[in-house]
Amino acid sequence: MATSKAMKTMKKARVHLITRHPFFGALAFHLDLIEDGSIPTCGTDGDVLIFNPEFVQSMTFKQTLGAVAHEILHCAFLHPLRRFQRNPLLWNWAGDYAINIILKEEKFELIEGALYDLQYAGMNVDEIYNILLRKTKEIPNYGGPGVPIAIPGHGTACGGILDKKGKNGKALSKGSVDSEASKMKGRVAKAAAIARARGKMTGSLEKWVNDFLNPRINWVDQLRRFFEQSTKNDYTWTRPNRRYLQQGIYLPTLHNQEMATLIIAIDSSGSVSDDELQQFGGEINGLLQTVKVAVVYVLYCDSELYKVDEFTPNDFPIKFTSLKRGGTNFTPPFEWVEKNDQVPSCFIYMTDMECWDYPPTPDYPVLWLSTESEKNIKKPPFGEIIYMPK
């Protein structure tokens, strides 16, 4: 079968990248090229680069180089692995804004109207997504990867992100996501080494690679995963509705895609700094833009529980207040949950983990967000734990 003109152009672009932009070229040869006239532009899942031949032929060769580099950065940023339950169209837009700033710095030519705005300089896709979510009152239906949908007042999204799937066509397990991410980080490290050896590693690209290989806030993805695993879409009999148990009535608890109750306990024993608290609060408020929560309770506790704040969606963003500074006791917030007949969708405890006064294991998901590193603490007897970097 004869090779099409568009396929020859794409292969030529890969070779050109190897000689002129070796970082991008080394990553480009990990993507299988697939011609597909059913998508308007391009798309990638990290293993393949799908392209519409008419779209390729409509671009100049310099724009083709930019389009290939664009898809490469979607892969290198792990965009096909990290969407989770976020809106796919907004995720694509956010990814484009993050990528195109880098491409401009690297002197690539973008297609006319590509999503480019310096207000997003220095931001990652998660931060940009949260901003777009707040700005976008109505999200258009997603037409699939490669759909060049214009954003009012912004520009055009070129190329797309395909969620990475397993061999069975289903979403990847957490273990598989971690494995794929590790594989991509290895590729990025090798590509950077090749570019350095040839003197083709710019300062801005070096900074991005270092930030990518040594992430400062990788805990955010873990926090999001915990949020989304805590949402359900059906009734469950394993946790009866406590409001009716006292009347002798055994009813299931309704679990739907809205998280009914989020409880955040704050250890205010003096070792959790104001900066850490605000960083944590910023990420929680970002997540509340994407995971619907009916009510949030913030419980402040040192050696005793001394304050409870309640927030509903009309009150978001949540705000933390001034704190007492005393000893540490983990038990009072859990006792408050039982006393007030709460059934939280999830419970997050922000602490330095310097306490061993734990309550009995609760029947709801618990996440310990530790401000201390793994090597400095002992793991709790229940719940998950993630480590918030200094």
pLDDT, tens only, 86-97: 788 888 999 999
pLDDT, tens only, 283-334: 787 777 667 788 999 999 988 999 999 998 888 888 887 677 777 889 999 9
pLDDT, tens only, 56-75: 999 999 999 999 999 999 99
Architecture of the structural domain at 223-387:
3-Layer(aba) Sandwich (3.40)
* Cβ burial, residue 138 (10 Å; 0-12/13-18/19+): exposed
Average pLDDT of 100-120?
Answer: 93
Which pairs count as long-range contacts for 45-49, CB under 8 Å and 24+ apart, including other chains? 45/80, 45/161, 45/162, 45/163, 45/164, 45/165, 46/75, 46/78, 46/80, 46/81, 46/164, 46/180, 46/184, 47/164, 49/10
Average pLDDT of 120-132?
Answer: 82
CA distance readout (Å), 368 to 53, 132, 260, 266, 345: 50, 29, 20, 10, 15
Beta strands in the chain (DSSP E): 32-35, 42-44, 48-51, 150-151, 155-156, 235-240, 252-254, 259-267, 293-301, 305-311, 346-351, 366-370, 384-387
pLDDT band for position 345 (50/70/90)? confident
Structure-model confidence comparison of residues 232 and 219, the more confident one:
219
The answer to whether the pTM exceeds 0.85 is no
Q: Which element (helix H / strand E) includes 381?
A: none
Structure-model confidence comparison of residues 283 and 148, the more confident one:
283
Average predicted confidence (pLDDT) for the chain: 81
DSSP state of 264: E
Both tokens of 116, joined, read: 């480019």
Structure-model confidence comparison of residues 379 and 216, the more confident one:
379
Among 36-45, 129-138, 174-183, the least confident range: 129-138
The contacts of residue 145 (CB under 8 Å, 6+ apart) are: 39, 42, 43, 44, 50, 92, 159, 160, 161, 162
Q: What angle do CA 56, 124, 19 make, to 5 degrees?
A: 45
Asked if 93 contacts 133 with a C-beta cutoff of 8 angstroms, the reply is no
How many other C-beta atoms are found inside a 10 Å radius of the C-beta of residue 357?
11
Domain ranges for the chain: 5-215, 223-387
Portion of the chain with pLDDT greater than 90, in percent: 39
User: Residue 17: what pLDDT?
Assistant: 96
DSSP state of 384: E
Pairing of strands 155-156, 150-151: antiparallel
